[in-house]
Amino acid sequence: MTESGKKRYNPFYFVQEAFKGFVRHGIMSAGSIIVLTSCLVLLGAFAALIENLNLNLGNLGMMKEIAVFVDYDLPEDKVTEIGEEIKKLDNVSGVTFISKKQALEEMKETYSDYEELFNDIEANGDNPLADSFIVSYRDNDKVLSLESALHSIPGVLKVNNRLDYAVKAENFKNGMSLVFVWFFLLLLVVAVFVISNTIRLAVEGRREEIDIMRYIGATNSFITAPFIVEGSMIGIISAVAAFFLDAFLYRFAISKLSSDLKMFELLPFSHFRWLFLFSFIGIGVMSGVLTSLFSIRKNLRN
Amino acid sequence: MIEFQNVRKEYADVTALNEISFTIPDGEFVFIVGKSGAGKTTVTRVLLMEEKVNSGHIIINGDDITAYPDRLIPYHRRRIGMVFQDFRLFPDKTAYENVAFAMRVIGTPAKEIKQRVPMLLRMMQIENKADHFPEQLSGGERQRVALARAVANNPDIIVADEPTGNVDPEMSLIIMNLLKRINTVLGKTVIVVTHEKGLVDTMGQRVITISEGKVLSDVPAGGAEDD
């Protein structure tokens, strides 16, 4: 005997049966969708964060600038002298002087909500800032020797290389990645657990029907197909819900943050749109289908 | 032809079938009788490959089914139409849908299902209840739907396990006559497992009696006991 009796099945039957199962265990289905959606929303939020961090880290690295602050009470001619000395250093392509008055004005503009605080400082004539130079350089590889040369100039108080910020941000990004990966995995495990229980209930609810199907010669694939379709329905609904939630949350976050984070460039949601949609559907359907497949195989064995 | 050759089936510490052997030629009507626990239901279970035998062979039309891999079980079951004491109909499907579903399971085209199902229901004299759900049918009517389903996919063999266990005596005879009709008109091999001696005597067919997992007697249709 062979499997020559194989024929084409009506796919509408599988969708119809999957829909029945989905409705019959509505609460469990909703639970599966909520957990899987949370998982995907988190994934999207993290991807958006990393993309924005990468863009701004790239911008920081591309700026090739070092901020040099001089001692607070240095006379004007001494400050000019330091500027001249900086210009003579190797790898320097330009030097811009920013007086402490200018720096205070810039700060007032950035933090316009605290205008009163700055007015008090100006009224007392106590400018707490220092004169500084923005030093542009040509070669990132020689930045360390330039930094040490700047440190050795008498009257220099502090040297801030923006690459340092980039390194700090990179470390922050790596730390965040680690926390995210664990959190994501934890949610995924919960999602798999809830989906597998939903499918297990669906199998239990149809145990008698499955037995009859076996007696009349139904293949395993015919019996399992409705459950696989049910799993993929959970995956697709979760993916679409997560996509719209992420779109809403991201746009909301941008509208709130763009005024506070003027120095950062923030990507629009359209930048992520297709990536999010397709990866969410991919992950959602994969987790729904694989979990269903595993759950039904395990439950049908008995 | 169905051949049981020294078939042994053991459960934990019980021997359900003890080196049992018999042959059923194509198109025969056979009763398998015996007391409760004699092993008659085990015969149907190993025939359907619900259970694997411990030793021996079951040959159907020249194929040793005990050597079949698991993936062939569904295809093997399509050669056997099963009828149960408790009917085993889908409760949420009408009589028509129950029969149609058996055909859908093996991928029969919708057009063929539409043509064949009314004909089968007519044959089982239940066509006027086609749109009734099982709970709206009497025991005898349910069993007639089950019979229509059993022959829906044109199997070679019909196995009925206590088919009259849940119907009244009058209906029992009707069911038996329908099984006989399936045997004579459609030419199917019919195996009926039962403990109703009166019904068996009325039908006058071959009777294999099983006791303690062995063939106690094998009486041919209307004839004397074989050795």
Give the total number of structural domains in chain B: 1
The reply to whether B119 touches chain A by the CB within 8 Å rule is: no
Q: How far is A210 from chain B (nearest CA, A)?
A: 10
Whole-number pLDDT of residue A62: 64
Whole-number pLDDT of residue A302: 44
Within-domain flag for B55: no
The distance in angstroms from the start CA to the end CA of chain B is 20
Bridge partners (DSSP) of residue B153 are none
Whole-number pLDDT of residue A89: 92
Within-domain flag for B150: yes
Q: What is the pLDDT along chain A (302 residues), one digit of tens a residue?
A: 666 555 667 778 888 888 887 888 788 888 889 988 988 998 898 888 888 877 877 676 666 788 899 998 888 899 999 999 999 999 899 999 999 888 888 887 777 777 777 777 777 777 788 899 999 888 877 888 888 999 999 999 988 877 777 677 778 878 877 887 888 888 888 888 888 888 888 788 778 888 888 888 898 888 888 888 988 999 999 999 999 999 999 999 888 877 766 667 788 899 989 999 999 999 989 988 888 888 887 767 54
The span from the CA of A206 to the CA of A204, in Å, is: 5
Comparing CB atoms, the residue among B82, B101, B106 nearest residue A5 is: B106
Mutation target to probe the A interface, by most A beta carbons within 10 A, among B80, B104, B153 is: B104
Within-domain flag for B165: no
> CA of B77: which chain A residue's CA is closest?
A217
Within-domain flag for B3: no
Q: B223 pLDDT exceeds 70?
A: no
Tell me whether residues A215 and B149 touch, CB distance under 8 A.
no
Tokens of A273: 């749109």
Q: C-alpha distances in angstroms, A27 versus A143, A171, A225, B86?
A: 60, 42, 22, 33
The reply to whether B75 touches chain A by the CB within 8 Å rule is: yes
The span from the CA of A53 to the CA of A58, in Å, is: 8
Averaged pLDDT, B39-67: 94
Tokens of B86: 């408790």
Instruction: List, in order, residues 6 or more apart from A81 with CB less than 8 Å away.
Output: none
Where is pLDDT greater, at A206 or B42? B42
Yes or no: say if A60 and A165 are a contact pair by the CB < 8 Å rule. yes
* Helix, strand, or coil (residue B20): strand
The span from the CA of A70 to the CA of A288, in Å, is: 61
Q: How far is A193 from chain B (nearest CA, A)?
A: 29
Tell me whether residues B74 and A217 touch, CB distance under 8 A.
yes
Tokens of B167: 């119907």
Query: Which residues of chain B have a CB within 8 Å of the CB of A222?
Result: 105
> CA of B88: which chain A residue's CA is closest?
A212
Q: B227 pLDDT exceeds 50?
A: no
Mutation target to probe the B interface, by most B beta carbons within 10 A, among A4, A7, A212, A216 is: A216
Cut 0.90: pTM above it = no
Neighbours of A278 (CB within 10 A): 12
Bridging pattern class, strands B55-60 and B2-11: antiparallel
Length of chain B: 227
Where does residue B102 rank: exposed (0-12), middle (13-18), buried (19+ CB within 10 A)?
A: buried
Q: How far is B99 from chain A (nearest CA, A)?
A: 10
Whole-number pLDDT of residue A301: 56
Query: Which residues of chain A have a CB within 8 Å of the CB of B153?
Result: 216-217
Taking every pair of C-alpha atoms in chain A, what is the biggest distance, in angstroms?
103
User: What is the average pLDDT score of chain B?
Assistant: 92
Helix pair angle (B110-123, B139-152), 10° resolution: 140
* Helix, strand, or coil (residue A33): helix
Yes or no: say if A253 and A157 are a contact pair by the CB < 8 Å rule. no
> CA of B62: which chain A residue's CA is closest?
A1
Tell me whether residues B74 and A218 touch, CB distance under 8 A.
yes
The reply to whether A301 touches chain B by the CB within 8 Å rule is: no
Yes or no: say if A206 and B91 are a contact pair by the CB < 8 Å rule. no
Whole-number pLDDT of residue A64: 77
Helix pair angle (A26-63, A162-205), 10° resolution: 170
Tell me whether residues B90 and A7 touch, CB distance under 8 A.
no
Comparing CB atoms, the residue among B90, B106, B109 nearest residue A209 is: B90
Q: Which residue matches tokens 């009506």?
A: A10
List Cβ<8 Å contacts ≥24 apart for B110-113: B110/A10
What are the pLDDT digits (tens) for B198-209?
Answer: 889 889 899 999
Where does residue A152 rank: exposed (0-12), middle (13-18), buried (19+ CB within 10 A)?
A: exposed
Within-domain flag for B195: no
Q: What structural domains and CATH numbers belong to chain A? A: 11-60+167-299 (no CATH), 72-154 (3.30.70.3040)
Query: Which residues of chain A have a CB within 8 Å of the CB of B90?
Result: 209, 212
The span from the CA of B93 to the CA of A211, in Å, is: 15
Yes or no: say if A146 and A92 are a contact pair by the CB < 8 Å rule. yes
> CA of A301: which chain B residue's CA is closest?
B70
ipTM of this model? 0.84
Whole-number pLDDT of residue B43: 94
The reply to whether B67 touches chain A by the CB within 8 Å rule is: no
Tell me whether residues A9 and B104 touch, CB distance under 8 A.
yes
Mutation target to probe the A interface, by most A beta carbons within 10 A, among B45, B106, B114, B153 is: B106
Query: Which residues of chain A have a CB within 8 Å of the CB of B102?
Result: 216
Report the candidate in B158, B93, B94, B149 with the shortest Cα–Cα distance to residue B124: B149
Within-domain flag for B115: yes
Residue ranges making up the domain that contains B123: 90-154
The reply to whether B88 touches chain A by the CB within 8 Å rule is: yes
Query: Which residues of chain A have a CB within 8 Å of the CB of B74?
Result: 214, 217-220
Within-domain flag for B8: no
